[in-house]
Chains A and B, each alone.
Chain A
Amino acid sequence: MTSQHVQAIHVHGLEKSYKKLKVLRGVDFDVAPGSIFALLGSNGAGKTTVVKILSTLLKADAGTATVNDFDVASHPANVRESISLTGQFAAVDEILNGRENLVLVAKLRHLKDPGAIADDLLRRFSLSDAAARRVSTYSGGMRRRLDIAMSLIGSSPIIFLDEPTTGLDPEARIEVWQAVKELTEQGTTVLLTTQNLDEAEQLADRIAILHQGRIIVNGTLAELKRLLPPATVEYVQKQPTLEDVFFAIVGSQGDDVAGDDHGNARMDN
């Protein structure tokens, strides 16, 4: 971990209680610029609370947090200039259509030519065909893609994704993963929360496990694996997982998935 003052996100001693329930009991972690950091934890571990504090939606009881070098408590407006939040539930406007949702966010970010920005994102997220349809008719995966597309408007240097794939089917999940990977190619810092171990493994440069209000482990996947007893060699017959079966029957993530140009997105890096 680099201890220089160039962290995209710096969290130290963060505490938060709801009434008598202590949710965060001193959370510390840093996120390096341009990396994907996964905050892993079970339901109620406090992941969303951390994200809400970092995105200035909630005040911490104690501790400090800086985002893009701005303190969340003393410079919330600067923090909001630096971030984009994709909350736990797709925060899209159901009555507007997909394009109008994107134009709305582009206008609120005071960008020039909101229409062109919207059309570009619709294309990138394979939503062009559905652009003029009301979002209430979208599937869960389409909604989530639109939600993430809305978060990309304005090219914020730091993006928070709070459980971006919860409730999605396997195909939609892979589409989201692909979108997240593309983000870091542009140098965006991503803080991701998830309860899906596979997701953290697929995406994150660093993984921290939040448990009972504290970070109990923080490291790269390789470092975390070293914490376990050394691997032993066993011969086990490999049964196909249900996911393998699903993709074998549905025709993997192939061309027959309508409007999906993120084809073979199963990344193995």
Chain B
Amino acid sequence: MTTNFFGDTAVLLGRSLRHITRSLDTVITTTVMPIAFLLLFVYVFGGAIDTGSDSYVTYLLPGILLITIASGIAYTAYRLFLDRQSGIFERFQSMPIARSSVLWAHVLTSLVANLTSIVVVVLVALLIGFRSAAGVPAWLAVAGILILFTLALTWLAVIAGLSAKTVDGASAFSYPLIFLPFISSAFVPTHSMPGPVRAFAENQPVTSIVNTIRDLFTQQPVSTDIWIALGWCLGILVLAYVLAMAAYHRKIG
């Protein structure tokens, strides 16, 4: 079985990547909202927000990238749900293939689709004045954190896609994730928030991830935030993976 794992995953990955390239509108809808937030906050609200940094675009971008990923993974859940609905999921499960390759194909597709969206959003940010003098190692670190974050949320999406009963249910789980950056250091510094909100904002995953990416972009020394960020991402990833696999084994009997 495991001997076929990579081959089967590659074949199924080819299939779902075709779904992406043939419905590019999903990449567009994934990026429209984050780009709208980016423009809204830079050109409308940004003037009234004092972040203490030179460029609000640069301050804002890390949070916008996380929102991009959070809205992108909704499609992962959606595609998995459609596979279950259409019966093709059962067809794959009744075939002599490495069974987990069905999930891995969706996970890798999610990674490719989200990284594409990220590139689009970063290009828009560059157009409206985002600049970073960060070197290759810093960019690689940013990419690594974003990939880890995408994988963590993708496995959450797999749980939703496997257990949802309706199409709406399959994507609704992502709304709180999209909203989470608003109550973090992504848009405004947390010290302006009232006590309990500030406590929440400073101790939820987004803040540490945003702070780390921001430090990397602005060539500041990264604080201990990077360890907290990695801890959150890995923790969510492992937990979501275990739960997703449990849901999968319940599903395929």
A and B interact: yes
Mark A residues whose CB is within 8 Å of B.
52, 55-59, 77, 80-81, 83-85, 87-96, 100, 104-105, 107-110, 134, 150
How far is the CB of B253 from the nearest CB of chain A, in Å?
Answer: 5
- 5 additional A-B pairs beyond A56-B253, A89-B86, A95-B18, beta carbons within 8 Å, are A77-B1, A91-B87, A91-B88, A108-B92, A108-B95
A93-B88, A95-B18, A100-B18 as given contacts; A57 in contact with B8, CB under 8 Å: no
Contact of B253 with A108 in the complex, beta carbons under 8 Å: no
A77-B96, A91-B86, A100-B18 as given contacts; A150 in contact with B91, CB under 8 Å: yes
A85 to B87, CA, bound (A): 10
Contacts of B92 in A (CB 8 A): 108
A57 to B18, CA, bound (A): 27
Contacts of A83 in B (CB 8 A): 94
25 A-B pairs, CB-CB below 8 angstroms?
A: A57-B90, A57-B253, A77-B1, A80-B94, A80-B95, A81-B96, A83-B94, A85-B90, A87-B90, A87-B91, A88-B87, A89-B86, A91-B90, A91-B91, A92-B88, A93-B86, A93-B88, A94-B86, A95-B18, A95-B19, A100-B18, A104-B11, A108-B92, A110-B7, A150-B91
A95-B18, A108-B97 as given contacts; A59 in contact with B86, CB under 8 Å: no
A77 to B253, CA, bound (A): 13
Contacts of B88 in A (CB 8 A): 91-93
A227 to B1, CA, bound (A): 48
How far is the CB of A192 from the nearest CB of chain B, in Å?
Answer: 16
Contacts of B90 in A (CB 8 A): 52, 57, 85, 87, 91
A109 to B98, CA, bound (A): 11
Name the residue in B12, B87, B92 with the highest tally of chain A Cβ atoms < 10 Å from its Cβ: B87
A100 to B17, CA, bound (A): 13
Mark B residues whose CB is within 8 Å of A.
1, 4, 7-8, 11-12, 15, 18-19, 22-23, 86-88, 90-97, 252-253
A100-B18, A108-B8 as given contacts; A87 in contact with B87, CB under 8 Å: yes
A208 to B95, CA, bound (A): 26
A56 to B92, CA, bound (A): 11
Contact of B87 with A107 in the complex, beta carbons under 8 Å: no
A104 to B8, CA, bound (A): 10
Contact of A85 with B96 in the complex, beta carbons under 8 Å: no
- Interchain CB contact (< 8 A) of A55 among B4, B8, B15, B94: B94
A100 to B15, CA, bound (A): 9
How far is the CB of A221 from the nearest CB of chain B, in Å?
Answer: 29
How far is the CB of B88 from the nearest CB of chain A, in Å?
Answer: 5
Name the residue in A57, A92, A108, A134 with the highest tally of chain B Cβ atoms < 10 Å from its Cβ: A108
A37 to B253, CA, bound (A): 26
Contacts of A95 in B (CB 8 A): 18-19, 22-23
A59-B253, A80-B96 as given contacts; A96 in contact with B91, CB under 8 Å: no
Contacts of B93 in A (CB 8 A): 56-57
How far is the CB of B72 from the nearest CB of chain A, in Å?
Answer: 18
- Interchain CB contact (< 8 A) of B4 among A88, A110, A150: A110
Contacts of B1 in A (CB 8 A): 77
Q: In the complex, what residue of chain B is closest to A96 when comparing beta carbons?
A: B18
A96 to B15, CA, bound (A): 8
How far is the CB of B46 from the nearest CB of chain A, in Å?
Answer: 40
Contact of B86 with A104 in the complex, beta carbons under 8 Å: no
Name the residue in A59, A90, A92, A93 with the highest tally of chain B Cβ atoms < 10 Å from its Cβ: A93
Q: In the complex, what residue of chain B is closest to A56 when comparing beta carbons?
A: B94
Contacts of A108 in B (CB 8 A): 8, 11-12, 92, 95, 97
Contact of A89 with B87 in the complex, beta carbons under 8 Å: yes
How far is the CB of B20 from the nearest CB of chain A, in Å?
Answer: 10
How far is the CB of B90 from the nearest CB of chain A, in Å?
Answer: 5
